[in-house]
Homo-oligomer: A and B are copies of this chain.
């Protein structure tokens, strides 16, 4: 009866635990977690703070009872302090007391923590990161007790923009400050600009190309400053990315990769026998790049955890890999991407072409048609599909359309194969050529014209 111990009770850890029990009903499975919130959906925090999900308990993917019903032992309030791989012992602290726990297999699912940028004053009251349940309780308390009227959000990524949406719903005047030229730098600037327009339509001020230097308290208010920029605020959120939490792994002698994430193989094994890692603390195999990268995403954490859990009880499952597929809602827009953008594809040795198209999400004559903006990236030489980005109304099936691209990418399809997919059609849901296919046809046309132009140039030389 192997004892599988998992450090970390978020998506990867709980997925690993459940899967281990599912595959081997005789396995003893324990999850050590520092707080009291196993399996909470951190992607859901903005919706709790906006008021759309009034009861934070509902943010749990599974309740404590759900997890325990699967035969998983939950050690909440236990902070793992050290791993001794020779003795197979984890030292934890529970209620101030140190405790030694033995294991046969160990899964590190220690997650990520918010990047702390070099900005003065981050410890001032009223300045918050947003990653853990405790952060969201602190922000909620601030909102309830201090009734802030203006917020500055440092960082225009997924969490920053989700919170811009949430705080606007709570009645705050919001400014988003972003280092890059537009917001949402995971998509190309033209789509980022569409997101920025949506933010501004809802009264959110966006300021690009600004590196925040300091937050100070002046006359009972916070002041955020950068070169040529100054805004007063009653609340400041800092959301500029995440980095893997690996102290425990390093203490045990587990190797980490370039971005500091735990190095794993496709079985989610670390360099040390019997120690696995999964989720935001670990590297991710990228299906298109064919290499390990750092791409912390909730959906990936679930998948990696499941693989690690299965293998920890003797399985031989491989993690298929990530395409970096993601979607976010910003007010009435959905913004999504999968695969590589132009620069990433070029960096990986492809000869990419990216083509932007607009297409209706369903037949224009049927009431409620929205225009989608799609950007398709493919390899000129082989015609292979490399990636797609999309922005459109939140009701325009953007997420599942990006997933059609994701499925196509997983299968290594060419851009030209998209039009051959037998997709569903009815006027309220699509067109005889779906927007996905229209964007593929536009890419093929542009690639062909590019080749012709290139040949013409060659001929005249």
Contacts and interface: CB of A to CB of B under 8 A. Distances in A.
Interface stretch (A79-87, A219-227, A345-353, A418-426): A418-426
A400 B429 CA distance: 8
A427 interface: yes
Interface string A379-420: 000000000000000110111111110111011010001011
B422 A338 contact: yes
A366 B302 contact: no
B429 A334 contact: yes
Contacts of A322: 422
Given A406-B421, A433-B302, A44 B366 contact: yes
A183 to B, nearest CB: 16
Contacts of A298: 425, 432
Nearest to A419: B303
Q: Assembly of this chain: how many copies?
A: 2
A334 B321 CA distance: 32
A327 to B, nearest CB: 4
A85 to B, nearest CB: 30
Interface in A4-63: 11, 41, 43-44, 47, 52-53, 58-59, 61
Nearest to A297: B425
A302 B47 CA distance: 42
Interface in A289-336: 297-303, 306, 320-329, 334, 336
A348 to B, nearest CB: 17
Interface residues of A, number: 70
B302 A432 contact: yes
A218 B410 CA distance: 62
Contact of A424 (B325, B366, B367, B424): B325
A432 B327 CA distance: 12
Contact of A400 (B52, B325, B327, B403): B403
Contacts of A105: none
A52 B365 CA distance: 9
Nearest to A335: B426
A366 B47 contact: yes
Nearest to A337: B424
A103 B188 CA distance: 49
A429 B44 CA distance: 12
Given A421-B407, A422-B321, A399 B299 contact: no
16 contacts: A41-B427, A44-B366, A44-B427, A53-B365, A297-B425, A327-B430, A329-B429, A336-B424, A397-B397, A397-B400, A399-B424, A399-B426, A403-B423, A403-B436, A404-B404, A410-B411
